[in-house]
Amino acid sequence: MNDEAPSYKSFFTAVRKQVTAVRGSSHEPDENERINARATQIFIMEIYLQNYRRKHQFAWSRLPGIRAAHHRILMKFHWAPSVIETLSVEQLFFALLDDLEGYEIPVDAHQVLARHLPHKNSMTLLFSDFLEKEWLPEIADRLLPEI
């Protein structure tokens, strides 16, 4: 059991650890940049979804985990829930890509990213695929601070 207090730093560290566990550890600089870039994508998506949850949750549903992404896609595209539930994580991120473009994360979160992405072009090295187990929404439920 992890009793660490929620913080952007602990959240990013846990996401990066999950991506590394799925992708495997490497001493190659490009591979580490890819891991940081994927962790950043998940980090920003989770902050976006947390903010979405805060604005759109219901008394009977807080839109936990991936349900917030499903709800956003339902509201955005009006697809049937049965279709949305079949989307892969990569397809979910793609469907919400324009929502994330230019999305302003909190200053504290930005400072965490600045430490892990020291180069302006750090996000140019990306994995060509998105593995399902890289994103575990329960990490955010445990470690992402309230906005």
- Determine the pLDDT at residue 1: 43
- Determine the pLDDT at residue 62: 86
- Determine the pLDDT at residue 69: 96
- Has this prediction a pTM greater than 0.95? no
Task: Count Cβ atoms within 10 A of the Cβ of residue 90 and give its class: 0-12 exposed, 13-18 middle, 19 or more buried.
Answer: middle
- Segments of the chain with pLDDT less than 50: 1-2
Name the H helices within 2-116. 8-23, 29-56, 67-77, 81-84, 89-95, 97-100, 107-116
What residue ranges do the domains of the chain occupy?
8-143
